[in-house]
Amino acid sequence: MTTTFTMTAGRAAPLGASFDGDGVNFAVFSENATRMQVCLFSEDGKKELAAIDLPERDGDVWHGYVSGLRPGQQYGLRAHGPYAPEQGHRFNPHKLLIDPYAKRLTGHPTWDDRLMGYVVGDEAEDLAMDTRDSAPVMPRCVVEDPSFSWGEDTPPQTPIQQSVIYEAHVKGFTAKRLDVDAPGTFLGMASDPMLEYLTDLGITAIELLPAQAFLNDRFLTEKGLTNYWGYQTLGFFAPEPRYLHRAQISEFQQMVARFHTAGIEVIMDVVYNHTCEGNELGPTLAFKGLDNASYYRLTEDPRYYINDTGTGNCECRTCIPCRFRRFATDRGPGGYHRSHVKGIGTCSNCRRTGQKREIFVVRIGQQRVGIDVAGAAEAALNIAVGRFSGTYQIVNLLRRIAP
């Protein structure tokens, strides 16, 4: 039996897959694509049921609406356009791509040369396009309804000067606790024993080390290891699948609500200066295939990347505060700690057009969503630290005096 889907115009906002009670709207940014498809999969994710063109384009956003789709629908993207790395373009419709705004992923890519947009081992290196389908080794995006009954939940909003922040790894915090149900998960973090432990210490905020979906590096998997720390982000809107006990994004929301009830704010450690797609020889998983030249900063030879950022172009600087707002609205964290912020405030497009550059942290502060705790780390060599927020100045001082 063949399943048929009808795609209508839909709308350009919000980006990602949005369920409205009757169907799902898809909206994808790509300035340089010539065609954008949404691939719909069977319930178990194994069979591609349809590849449907997004029929409308408003500005640089491709969009369409499919009536009848429900939360739980698995999907991916395919972007058409020039495969011309020497011009900065790496479109390859043979590669199934993750929606940058996906709210949940079914798992992680399985390392295989099919993940590469180019022919591995070819003497032309990344200039020769690989035409094998990567869908068999890619996870699926999942349509989710992020609505959650927060009840009377209110973030504690402890003044930063009075905050006592506990930094914790989601898995490591409870992995060996025998008194915790679902250890190593979001639910385990906010279990009764851990809440009692944190409140006894006088903690006012917990800072989660990377908890967004991330990639296991290939060199690690080849050694039988995994990426423990998570600084290779794959999906900025999706929680790390390994930290979900029953594959429900509401588990993250439940964790936040329980922390708030205990008087503890939630801060997320996020890194936006790079993604897991790496350099020109890295895999094509999402941004690189959707619009390499828009999502990444490139050198004067656009085949190559500037090695200090993945977020220097204007569109990305716009979507980062959007990510903060949406995560804060849907999931409830009260703040973000951003490591390695060099390049986020140095937009390459702005330099080329002579526009005024502004420190990105100021823009985030203007969003008025949660606490913004910026960490300059080693990468902030060319940013005027004095222009960061007062919150950052406090954190930076603590880092300087800490052993």
Q: What is the mean pLDDT of residues 161-175?
A: 96
To the question of domain 160-401 being in CATH 1.10.1040.10, the answer is no
**pLDDT of 272:** 79
Would you say the CATH fold of 160-401 matches that of 7-142?
A: no
Residues ≥6 apart with Cβ < 8 Å to 132: 94, 114
Query: Sorting pLDDT into bands at 50, 70 and 90, what band is 277?
Result: very high
* Dihedral sign computed on CA atoms, order 244, 246, 248, 252: negative
Residue 374 DSSP SS3: strand
Q: How far apart are CA 262 and CA 196, in angstroms?
A: 9
Average pLDDT, the chain: 83
Written as one string, the DSSP assignment of 182-243 is STTSHHHHTSHHHHHHHHHHT--EEEES--EEEPPPHHHHTTT---SS--SEEEEEEEPGGG
Give yes or no for residue 387 having a pLDDT over 70: no
**Strand-strand pairing, 233-239 and 212-214:** antiparallel
Beta-carbon count within 10 A of 171 CB: 20
Classify domain 7-142 at the CATH superfamily level: Immunoglobulins (2.60.40.10)
- Provide the residue ranges of all domains of the chain, joining segments of one domain with +: 7-142, 160-401
DSSP state, 356? Answer: P
**pLDDT of 345:** 45
Q: What is the mean pLDDT of residues 130-145?
A: 98
Residues ≥6 apart with Cβ < 8 Å to 31: 60, 291, 293, 294, 315
Q: How far apart are CA 183 and CA 169, in angstroms?
A: 12
